[in-house]
Amino acid sequence: MSQDEIEFSVENAPDDKSLMEAILMQWRSERPDLDPTPMAVCGQIWRTGETLRQGVATNWLNCDLDIPGADVILTLRRQGHGKTLSPSKLAKEMMLSTSAMTNRLDRLENRELIKRTLDPNDRRGLKIILSDKGFALADEMVVSHIATEEKMLAALTNVERDQLRFLLGKIVNSV
């Protein structure tokens, strides 16, 4: 390694790509017996995920919702007008535990965005439905959500987006 490469450090890395390269160079210098590339790939995925999450969370502030609340509203909305889900089915669609649902549903019900109704097929069961207010909000939300995500993905072509989805899916399916 040249002296110029060694002096290139995390502190003076001008952008994200350079930062990742600086981190890799540091690890290669400190542990030449290891290939730190997996750290860079995972680190970039985590950094990108956090950047996307922050962009979405900022958008939801306009609706006075956090990401979990918005997720409930949009999950119910994509079921269709007047459709219901049980809390356990809702949690499954959102990839959450049922215990994480209660507080979310309470907050949304207090804002009159959802309603809990009795399940006609199970006396002990409940169904969750968007209220008219919740349905109208969801229709506004989905437009701003797509626009927000489009803005964040603007640097990628449609082909690159498809490639990225495919590659990220490979990781999820292999773990």
Q: Tell me how far apart the alpha carbons of residues 108 and 154 are, in angstroms, rounded to a whole number.
A: 32
pLDDT for residue 14: 52
pLDDT for residue 12: 46
Instruction: Indicate the pTM of the whole model.
Output: 0.79
Each residue's pLDDT expressed in tens, for the chain with a length of 175 residues:
444 443 444 444 457 778 888 999 999 999 999 999 999 899 899 999 999 999 999 999 989 999 999 999 999 999 999 999 999 899 888 888 777 788 899 999 999 999 999 988 888 889 999 999 999 999 999 999 999 999 999 999 999 999 999 999 999 999 8
Q: Tell me how far apart the alpha carbons of residues 74 and 71 are, in angstroms, rounded to a whole number.
A: 5
Q: Which domains does the chain have, with CATH numbers?
A: 1-36 (no CATH), 66-175 (1.10.10.10)
Determine the residue type at 122.
D
